[in-house]
Amino acid sequence: MDDTRRRLRGLPALPGLALTASLTLGATTASAQELVWARYGDIDSLDPHRATSTLSMQVWDQIYDTLLAFDMEGNPGPNMAASWEASEDGLEYTFTLNEGIMCHDGTPFDANDVKFTIDRAFGDTPSLTKTSWGPITDVTVVDPLTFKVTLASKFGAFLPFLADSFSSMICDSNTAETFGSTTAIGTGPFSLDEWVKGSEVALSKNPDYVNYGEPYDNEGAPHIDRLLIRTVPEAQTRLAALRTGEVHIAEPPFDDIEAIKEAGELEIMVAENTGQDVFWEFTTSRAPFDDIRARQAVAYATDPQMAIDIIYGGLTNREWCPVARGVFGNDQEFCKQYGYEYDPEKAKALLAEMGYGPDNPLETTMFVWTGGNRHKLAEIFQSQLAQVGIDAGVEIMDIGTMNARVKAQNEDTTSDEPGTFDMMTWSWYDPDILYQLWHSPGAYSGYQSPELDAMLEETRTTIDPDARLEKVQAVIKYLMENAVHIGLYSPGWEWVFAVRPEVEGFKVGPFLHPNFLDVTVVSGG
Amino acid sequence: MGKFILQRLFAALVTIWIATIAVTILIHLVPGDPVRIMYGSFQTTPEELEAIRVRLGLDQPIWTQYLMYLERLVQGDLGRSIVGDQPVLDVLLTRFPATLALTVSSLAIAIVVGMSLGFLAAYKRGTWVDVGAMVLAIVGVSMPHFWLGLLLLFLFALQLQWLPVAGGDWRSLLLPALTLGLANAAVLARLTRSAMIDIFDQDFIRTARAKGLPRSIVLYRHALRSGLVPVVSMLGLQFAYLMGGAIVIENVFAWNGVGRLAIEAVLSRDYPLIQGFILFFATVVALASVVIDIAYAFLDPRIRYS
Amino acid sequence: MTPDTDAPLLSVRDLTISFGKGRHRNVAVKDLSYDLRAGETLAIVGESGSGKSVSSMALLGLLPRGAATIEAGRARFDGRDLLHLSDEQLRGIRGDRVTMIFQEPMTSLTPVLRIGQQLTEALIEHKGMSRSQAAARGREMLTLVGLDDAPRRMKQFPHELSGGMRQRVMIAMAMASDPAILLADEPTTALDVTVQAQILDLMRDLKARFGTSIILITHDMGVVAEMADRVVVMRKGRKIEEGTVREIFETPQQDYTKALLAAVPRLGAHAAAAEPRQVVDSPSRPGARLLHTHGMSKTFRERGLFAAKAGGTAAMQDVGFDLAAGETLALVGESGSGKSTTGRAVLRLLELDQGVIEIGGTDMRRLSGGAVRKARREMQMIFQDPFASLNPRLSAGRLVAEPMVIHGLAKGRELQDRTEQLFTRVGLEADHMRRFPHEFSGGQRQRLSIARALSVNPKLIVADEPTSALDVSVQAQVLELMLELQQSLGLAYLFISHDMAVVEEVAHRVAVMRRGRIVEIGPRHAVLNDPRHPYTRALLAAVPVPDPTRTRGTLPTLDTSTLPTGPLTEIAPQHMVAS
Amino acid sequence: MIHSSSTAELADDLATASAPRKRSFWRALLAGPSGLIGLVIVAVLIFAALTAPVIAPYDPLRMAAGPRLDAPSTNYLMGTDDFGRDVLSRIIYGARLTLQIGVIAVGISLSCGLLLGLVAGYSSGWTERVLMRLVDVLFSFTEIVIALACLAIFGVGLTNAMIAIGIASIPFYARVTHSVVLVEKGKPYFEAAVAAGAGHLRLIFLHLLPNVVPTLIVIGTLGVSTAILAAAGLSFLGLGAQPPQPEWGFMLSSSRDLISRAPWMMIFPGLAIATTVLGFNLLGDGIREALDPRQTDR
């Protein structure tokens, strides 16, 4: 499907391995198995409607379950929902839930909980990703195991969304004020013990868990008893903790990966099908980036391949498309035709046309969000831009701030300050992301045109895969030609894991969902 | 004495009161629309922003806002953080024990190391012990906390692997506390030295010597106890410095206290959290200085008996 | 306890002490020798810098370590040489056989320790007494030095006692171990005159009781005359003369000693004269009324957190007096009596709570800020500490010229000339104008202050203790200058002083102040020769007389509760006393 | 107001006011080890800042000037960073930013603090009480918290950090000025000037200011070191300098992920900060000793 080497463990487990796993399980049931996973940052909220960060999503995955589940290739299939039917016009879906799903508080999970979740996402304080649920107008509970969802218009990304963590199913017993900060009741493989803000999310295994559709071997409760998800911001500290065994799984410092591999003390895993896309986004509402030539100049002047080689050393790939590898519509060859190959001379020519030159550099600011060495990437880009006469300051901020600032920049059309551009990142399972980003008003109030709106509309309402591919690629072509959304690389954040040797069965599902169902810790740690 | 304590408490209240005004003004000094900066993230509509504005009372005149703020404050409501949408007070309180543990243990280190060094230097004034101690102290004062932290981390955790680097137990407190403690010990050593030198020059020390008392009695009963008075009076400020220093050190060692929270809040422009932090910080420092002033009063009879 | 009658108790020989090393070496005491006999009081007298304190501190090893070096000498005491004992051996003598009291009672006791502990710790250390034995002795000593309620005093902290009481505690501490020698380093200098008299009486009394020998270090010839058996006179680190107190006072051999004695103001020396000492041929006489004040009151309030607190101390209550041109009114009183406050109030350097100040008929209190500054041309001030009252960053010339600049009296060449004239007028050289204050001596600085005050041709000068920071020899010269200026220029002085002898020399009239009130005011000879108020009498009785042949009468005890403090009533022409 | 005729006189007076100690001051400064060492360090810093383009072996911003993460060698005396930039060159250019931080931050805090302290100390009464109470409260907030508040308002960046640090230290300078003014005001020479009829301006500028200035020079010099430390701290936290500025604190911050791989990236910038701060601290101590003969025997 693509040219990256598969580093994930193979799906079909060898009988021998399974045996080892069960033996180990038997041997260690006496002492509780605990796994520590260290990450650079903390979750924002336990409430899937209150945050968008990958860090949060990965924790929701453990506590909540979704109606549908992606297989390893990223296609949605049954999970909590055993089956579903769509009406002829594609505006009504009827789902049937599996029987016997239990919430962590012991109450049964039924259609009312689904209605609770969806109503909540559209309620007074709606989900931050409300649009991604699609044009839902109503949810009706038919019987405890059956419910109907009504859409205002056809929505091609509806089913994939139900496999995504943003659609995590919340039990309707989550009515307390504390939901999201100290309590969270779901149906997922782990239940919440405690969230010590800034430091640790402590989870215990949910003994009642049944795996209906997640693509892992284990069909029941996790093997490990406790999962501790710890915040350790310093990469060096994480590495040291990995070495001493205080931590089992963590993202290592990129510059140490070679040495780790050589020493063979830890296993390095690189996730695939992350759906992650890192791209240039511009304040097109004012100068200089209201001029396509300025946007193109930036694209020609930067060399993502060189930058990622220096910073990530082959751990990631040049991405030509506005949607990531593994996502419907991604085709490197197709995208590259409209892409911008590194060509500083062209950039200079474009700038000269606009009246910029060595004595009159184009001044602007590049936003980039913290972590994952992105600021270093930005420094390289900054230096490349300087060579063609673009004087770009770099501002580093966290992702939430960057989202807000980018939006504010786009909406501020009257400022005398030069417009900014940014290294934006999104992880999505479907090209519907393009609708959310660029259909007016758009997530960032960025580039908009009626033409593009119409094209995006069609990507939503076209359900047939071949026809939809055509529509999606038309949008891709438009975005690339107009230099609105210029792909840089993929994947881009939290996709590299260093794993201690005693940890067996750690897998990362598509769209960067680490999973612990099959995990065992061989020696006491 | 009672009057003195009341006076100090009143001063602390004034500090906290001014802090409440400062944080209310703060949000109005932010250029641009604070609501948009705070809540204008992914997919919020203008209507939703307006609703938030009304909910936060930001559509009211500033003095109404202030009264509203005070009203919520007395109910223990410091607002909700933007990132994660949680009650600010809860967030601060869950993080504070870590900071308290760090600052108190650093203060202990600073007092033990700094005061002994300063006392020794003053006593051995003019000798190489004094010179050595003061060179050490000025180097300590000049050393950036965070660099000292990195050096200690590099040496003890990464090279020697003596100490753990992650986790929240007492062993992982050692390095940050040592860093912060030593950095402040240097300041305290200088303060103690000059206070003790002043004391050694006092007439009453001459009196004590003229009485033919053993050196230890002159030093500990007469000099040290008197010298402690000015030094302890400065501890309130030292504690404030430690709290400030903790902001940086917590970030070096990923120590999960309010200091790290504060930096996260500034970087993410989480204004309710920033406001809460400033108020909280001011309150803690003000109350700590009351405690230290009372300790000071117990050392100095001129205050105790007036 | 009685040694050989002839052998001296302490014998100091060839004591030489220096400060600093190498290039910076500075000999503070050179070849000093003296003997102290059992039961006698030896006064070591000298002006500041004469080495009198240093030499005594050296005996007990109390000189600052490192800074001072004992280069040579012996000091035999109890068969041992004090200067060659180890620190530990010396410590056994200090505080037991040889004890000390110091000048500053306010700072000589450890502020954080109770009186009882400070009083008993030496006894426990040296005499091996138990805590309770030492406490009993401590209480006994406190009673002996005249402190009431000894058990309570034992529990008090130093700050709860007044200066005089603290000095009594110091004496109790020094005498508790029944020492052979008491070293008293300026024991009364920091005290008010009445307290000084009490302390001196106490020391004499205790000396008689315990038979202690005393080394009394002082600059005050009055104290010497009153206390000493023998006197050693020191100057610039050397002993220049030694003798019995009678010999020194009656037949001084050295010029310096003679000058020292001549410069000492003696109360009663001018008692007969109706006017201050005449120093010019045809002195101007007091003229018309220049200054009129009445009902002046001022209370200093302690500052609260925001607002002033209620209460506070009344520094001045219902004070009023007149002053004529060319006249000197002396305000006398002890510290805290409000005399300085009164002086400042007249110049409007502080705001009165109420009262009237009229200069030449203008009510100063009604003037605006700018007008007050203009009015200040008429009145100038001279301060106690001449160094502190001169801005260290201005040259002497600028300092003296400043008032003329402020009041726009002269500029350019004229300013220069007038400044030069002022310098010569007060006895300074014109080329001193370029110097800065720290390059002048104390007396010269006070001359600078006077020149500055004179520069605007004022009618009134408020002189606040103008000579009390000066050595006696310099003091006399400055007083001479002031008298001369008054008598030739017709200046009026409001002369603030605690020194009755100085007042007697310069004043036309005297006002005695106590606790913010004038208790007696009148012509000098009336107030000083015929005091009517009990407090004035006590004040006069307490003044030490620099004449060993005369004995100061015992101090009358003041019953503060019945002391009249009401309004003034005239008992003789111009002589008014509080009723 | 004072008469116009005396304004020139006042200026003349001002010029001579600080004259007397000059010659002996420099000698005294260089006599003690603190002053001498401090002056040498500060001089080296200023020299490096002025001549950076000449003495720096490489362009501080040029990537791949050498190999990545190269250990110190004769080519790269302090090694290279993760972009292959020469650490020594970056440190030399960083001296410029460091000096700028010191001058701007102290400039802001010193001028505002001086003004506040003078006004409060001279005016007395209500103005003084309210001002100083406020200053005390702000002071107890500590500088870093005030700086954080300022940065929360202005947004992050090195310039904003300088301003924030400047503002944050105003209470300190105001307090020092105020206390010195009170001391000076209490001295008889001040009362003597009042008694002589001096007006407000003369009292403030001729009598108070010259006597306050020496203390402020000392405090200001020491303050430069505090400001440099604070700015480095903010940059270290990501609130100050932004890439590619070769600011030392920022360099330290970017070394964190590499301390085991490339410790030189952590050691040299840290050493640069510590030495510079030490230099200003020593210089401040030296000036204090030189200005105050009472202290020299210590």
C-alpha distances (whole Å) from D67 to each of A372, D75, D85, D87, D248 are: 22, 11, 8, 12, 21
Which chain B residues are Cβ-neighbours of A199 within 8 angstroms?
98, 168, 256
Closest CA to A189 of A517, A520, A523: A517
Q: Per-residue confidence at B165, pLDDT binned at 50, 70, 90?
A: low
Q: Are A504 and A520 in contact (CB under 8 A)?
A: yes
- With H, G, I as helix, E, B as strand and everything else as coil, classify residue C94: strand
Q: What is the mean pLDDT of residues A167-178?
A: 91
- The C-alpha of D243 sits at a distance from chain A's nearest C-alpha, in angstroms, of 6
User: Using CB atoms, which chains have 3+ pairs under 8 A with A?
Assistant: B, D
> How many angstroms separate the CA atoms of A297 and A357, rounded?
13
Neighbours of A356 (CB within 10 A): 22
Which chain C residues are Cβ-neighbours of B126 within 8 angstroms?
66
Domain B95-267 in this protein, CATH class = mainly alpha
DSSP one-letter code for D202? I
CB contact under 8 A, B41 and A404: yes
Q: Are C405 and C471 in contact (CB under 8 A)?
A: no
DSSP one-letter code for A345? H
**Which residues, other chains included, contact C139 with Cβ-Cβ below 8 Å and sequence gap of 6+?**
C150, C151, C154
**Which residues, other chains included, contact D228 with Cβ-Cβ below 8 Å and sequence gap of 6+?**
D98, D101, D102, D273, D276, D277, D280
Q: Where in chain C is the domain with CATH 3.40.50.300?
A: 10-262
pLDDT of residue B164: 64
C-alpha distances (whole Å) from B302 to each of A231, A333, B226, C113 are: 51, 86, 11, 11
> How many angstroms separate the CA atoms of A184 and A178, rounded?
8
pLDDT of residue A131: 83
Q: Which residues pair with C68 in a beta bridge?
A: C19
A–C contact: 3+ Cβ pairs < 8 A: no
Which of C19, C300, C372, C405 has the highest number of chain D CBs within 10 A, making it the mutation to test binding with D? C405
CB contact under 8 A, A383 and D62: yes
- The C-alpha of B288 sits at a distance from chain C's nearest C-alpha, in angstroms, of 19
Break chain B into its structural domains and give their ranges.
2-77, 95-267
Neighbours of C406 (CB within 10 A): 25
> How many angstroms separate the CA atoms of A366 and A307, rounded?
16
**Which residues, other chains included, contact B1 with Cβ-Cβ below 8 Å and sequence gap of 6+?**
B297, B303, B304, B305, B306
CB contact under 8 A, D5 and C449: no
Token couple for D177:
């000025």
Nearest-CA residue of chain A relative to B49?
A: A125
Nearest-CA residue of chain B relative to D222?
A: B142
Q: Report the interhelical angle of B116-123 vs B128-142 (nearest 10°).
A: 140
Q: What percent of chain C has pLDDT over 70?
A: 96
Which chain B residues are Cβ-neighbours of D237 within 8 angstroms?
247-248, 251, 263
- The C-alpha of C159 sits at a distance from chain B's nearest C-alpha, in angstroms, of 6
User: Using CB atoms, which chains have 3+ pairs under 8 A with D?
Assistant: A, B, C
Query: What's the pLDDT tens digit per position in A256-314?
Result: 888 899 988 899 999 988 899 999 999 999 889 999 999 999 999 999 999 999 889 88
Residue D143 lies in a domain: yes
- Pick from D156, D244, D261: which is nearest to A256 by CB? D261
C373 in contact with D at a CB cutoff of 8 Å? yes
> How many angstroms separate the CA atoms of C522 and A429, rounded?
107
Closest CA to C396 of C349, C450, C347: C450
CB contact under 8 A, B204 and C107: yes
Which chain B residues are Cβ-neighbours of A238 within 8 angstroms?
166
Q: Phi first, then psi: what are they for C475, rounded to 5°?
A: -55, -45
- The C-alpha of B223 sits at a distance from chain C's nearest C-alpha, in angstroms, of 8
> How many angstroms separate the CA atoms of A261 and A499, rounded?
11
The most confident of A94-98, B46-50, B136-140, C204-208, by mean pLDDT: A94-98
User: What is the extent of the structural domain holding D205?
Assistant: 27-291
Q: What is the mean pLDDT of chain B?
A: 85
DSSP one-letter code for A133? G
CATH number for D37: 1.10.3720.10
Q: Report the interhelical angle of B116-123 vs B225-252 (nearest 10°).
A: 140
pLDDT of residue C331: 93
Largest CA distance in chain C: 79
Q: What percent of chain A has pLDDT over 90?
A: 62
- The C-alpha of A238 sits at a distance from chain B's nearest C-alpha, in angstroms, of 7
Assess whether pLDDT exceeds 50 at residue A85.
yes
pLDDT of residue A366: 95
- The C-alpha of C434 sits at a distance from chain D's nearest C-alpha, in angstroms, of 10
Q: Are C34 and C243 in contact (CB under 8 A)?
A: no
Q: Which residues pair with C499 in a beta bridge?
A: none
Give domain C10-262's CATH superfamily: P-loop containing nucleotide triphosphate hydrolases (3.40.50.300)
Q: Are C501 and C332 in contact (CB under 8 A)?
A: no
Chain D residues at the B interface, defined by Cβ less than 8 Å, are 133-134, 137-138, 140-145, 148-149, 151-154, 156, 225, 229, 232-233, 236-239, 249, 252, 255-256, 259-260, 263, 266-267, 270, 273-275, 277-278, 281-282, 285, 298
Token couple for A128:
């931050």
Query: What's the pLDDT tens digit per position in D70-125?
Result: 889 988 899 988 888 999 999 999 999 999 999 999 999 999 999 999 999 998 78
Nearest-CA residue of chain D relative to A375?
A: D243
pLDDT of residue A31: 62
- The C-alpha of C94 sits at a distance from chain B's nearest C-alpha, in angstroms, of 5
> How many angstroms separate the CA atoms of C515 and D158, rounded?
62
CB contact under 8 A, C303 and D133: no
Residue showing tokens 């474009």: A350
SS (H, E, C) C154-184: HHCCHHHCCHHHHHHHHHHHHHCCCCCEEEE
Q: How many CB pairs under 8 A join A and D?
A: 58
- The C-alpha of D207 sits at a distance from chain A's nearest C-alpha, in angstroms, of 48
Between positions 130 and 149 of B, the ones with CB within 8 A of D are 138-139, 141-147
B126 in contact with C at a CB cutoff of 8 Å? yes
Q: Are D135 and D181 in contact (CB under 8 A)?
A: no
Which chain B residues are Cβ-neighbours of A401 within 8 angstroms?
267-269
Which chain A residues are Cβ-neighbours of D254 within 8 angstroms?
375-376
- The C-alpha of D118 sits at a distance from chain C's nearest C-alpha, in angstroms, of 18
> How many angstroms separate the CA atoms of A420 and A289, rounded?
8
Q: What is the mean pLDDT of residues B31-44?
A: 64
Nearest-CA residue of chain B relative to A50?
A: B84
Neighbouring C-alpha atoms within 13 Å toward the C-beta of B303: 18
Which of A376, A399, A496 has the highest number of chain D CBs within 10 A, making it the mutation to test binding with D? A376
Which chain D residues are Cβ-neighbours of A256 within 8 angstroms?
260-261
Which chain B residues are Cβ-neighbours of A237 within 8 angstroms?
153, 157, 165-166, 253-254
Query: Parallel, antiparallel, or unpaired for β A421-427 and A362-369?
Result: parallel
A391 in contact with D at a CB cutoff of 8 Å? no
Q: For C181-212, give one letter per residue: b (16+ CB within 10 A) or e.
A: bbbbbbbbebbbbbbbbbbbbbbeebbeebeb
Query: What's the pLDDT tens digit per position in D132-144?
Result: 888 888 888 888 8
Q: What is the mean pLDDT of residues C519-534?
A: 90
Q: Are C572 and C525 in contact (CB under 8 A)?
A: no
D83 in contact with A at a CB cutoff of 8 Å? yes
Q: Phi first, then psi: what are they for C129, rounded to 5°?
A: -75, 155
Residue scoring higher pLDDT (C414 or D16): C414
CB contact under 8 A, B266 and D152: yes
Residue A95: its H or E element: strand A92-97
Q: What is the mean pLDDT of chain C?
A: 86
CB contact under 8 A, A373 and D257: yes
- Pick from C112, C122, C125: which is nearest to B299 by CB? C112
**Which residues, other chains included, contact C54 with Cβ-Cβ below 8 Å and sequence gap of 6+?**
C17, C28, C29, C63, C68
- With H, G, I as helix, E, B as strand and everything else as coil, classify residue A202: strand
**Which residues, other chains included, contact D233 with Cβ-Cβ below 8 Å and sequence gap of 6+?**
B144, B145, B146, B248, D144, D249
Closest CA to C507 of C488, C492, C489: C492
- The C-alpha of D276 sits at a distance from chain A's nearest C-alpha, in angstroms, of 27
Token couple for A504:
């067996």
- Pick from C379, C389, C406: which is nearest to D198 by CB? C406
Which chain B residues are Cβ-neighbours of D274 within 8 angstroms?
139, 142-144, 147
C173 in contact with B at a CB cutoff of 8 Å? yes
The total number of structural domains in chain D stands at 1
Query: What's the pLDDT tens digit per position in C414-453?
Result: 999 999 999 988 888 888 888 888 888 888 888 899 999 9
pLDDT of residue A338: 94
D100 in contact with A at a CB cutoff of 8 Å? no
Residue scoring higher pLDDT (D260 or A437): A437
Residue D18 lies in a domain: no
Length of chain D (residues): 298
Query: What's the pLDDT tens digit per position in D159-192?
Result: 999 999 999 999 999 999 999 999 888 888 898 8
Q: What sign has the CA pseudo-torsion B278, B69, A44, A132?
A: negative
Q: Per-residue confidence at B43, pLDDT binned at 50, 70, 90?
A: low
Nearest-CA residue of chain D relative to B122?
A: D298
- Pick from C347, C390, C407: which is nearest to D195 by CB? C347
- The C-alpha of D238 sits at a distance from chain B's nearest C-alpha, in angstroms, of 8
> How many angstroms separate the CA atoms of A306 and A256, rounded?
19
D257 in contact with A at a CB cutoff of 8 Å? yes
Assess whether pLDDT exceeds 50 at residue D17.
no
Q: Are C316 and C357 in contact (CB under 8 A)?
A: no
Token couple for A2:
């693509």
